[in-house]
Structures are given as C-alpha cells and as structure tokens.
Amino acid sequence: MPPRLTAMPPRLAAPAPRIGAVPGDARAQDRERDRVKPWRAWYRTARWSRLRRKILARAGYVCEQTGVALVGRAPAPDSAVIDHIRPHRGDPALFWDEDNLQAVSKAWHDGAKQRAERAAGD
C-alpha cells in the first residue's frame, strides 16, 4: 500500500501587531502598557504588597470615599483598590508616599475617580 499524503506543517507564524495590541486582548494590552510604563512593575513588588495592606488596615477595610466595606475580590465592585490621590505618573516619591494613598472601592475608583481625572486632563 502506498504511503498516505499528509499536510505539511505551517511554515509561517502570524506576525506580531505593529501598532499595539489587538482590541479585546487584555493580556497583550497589559504587556504593552508594562513596556511603555515600566513603573507599573512597582505594583508587583513585596514592598507594594506590604504598603497596600498597611493602607487597608489604616482605613479599616472601608472605602474612604463612600464608606462601603471593602470585602469583595477583584473585579467585584466592593473590592479594595489603593488609589493615588495625586497621580504619580512614575514619580517614585509620589508612588510610595503613604499620605498620597487611600483605600477605595473598585466601583468608586473605576467610576467617579476616573471621570474626575479625565475632566481634569490627568
């Protein structure tokens, strides 16, 4: 019996996007943001984790803007977000300043806070 013909494996891979991440690809968007803004890596440090816990304890696990108990897990609206009161924009002094941090709910941070920053041009 003659050998069966099989398909050849593909030789070319899909090219990487040249203008940024494909819409809807959250992981690719995060990688692009990390590349453009290296200070985002500070959020993944043990130092940030300790500071985050300290700010949450200081606030008593209650949103400092709305009074909502911060008991949810991300991405729940009542999950805790540590917010920079003044945007740090990569300034380490502002990023690590405890007086510039507040514990807020994800709902407040993603709603009212973002609207205020957009309105101010931040």
Q: What is the pTM of this model?
A: 0.73
Q: How many domains does the chain have?
A: 1
Residue (of 87, 91, 81) closest to 120 by Cα position? 87
Is 19 part of a structural domain of the chain? no
Residue 21 has pLDDT above 70, yes or no: no
Is 5 part of a structural domain of the chain? no
Cα(55)–Cα(61) distance, integer angstroms: 9
Is 13 part of a structural domain of the chain? no
Q: Are 101 and 84 in contact (CB under 8 A)?
A: yes
Non-local CB neighbours of 107 within 8 Å, separated by 6+ positions: 66, 68, 77, 78
Domain containing residue 72: 27-120
Is 38 part of a structural domain of the chain? yes
Is 15 part of a structural domain of the chain? no
Tokens of 28: 């690719």
Q: What pLDDT score does 62 carry? A: 98
Is 21 part of a structural domain of the chain? no
* Predicted confidence (pLDDT) per residue in 34-70, tens digit: 888 888 999 999 999 999 999 999 999 999 999 999 9
Is 108 part of a structural domain of the chain? yes
Tokens of 3: 């050998």
Q: What is the mean pLDDT of the chain?
A: 89
Is 94 part of a structural domain of the chain? yes
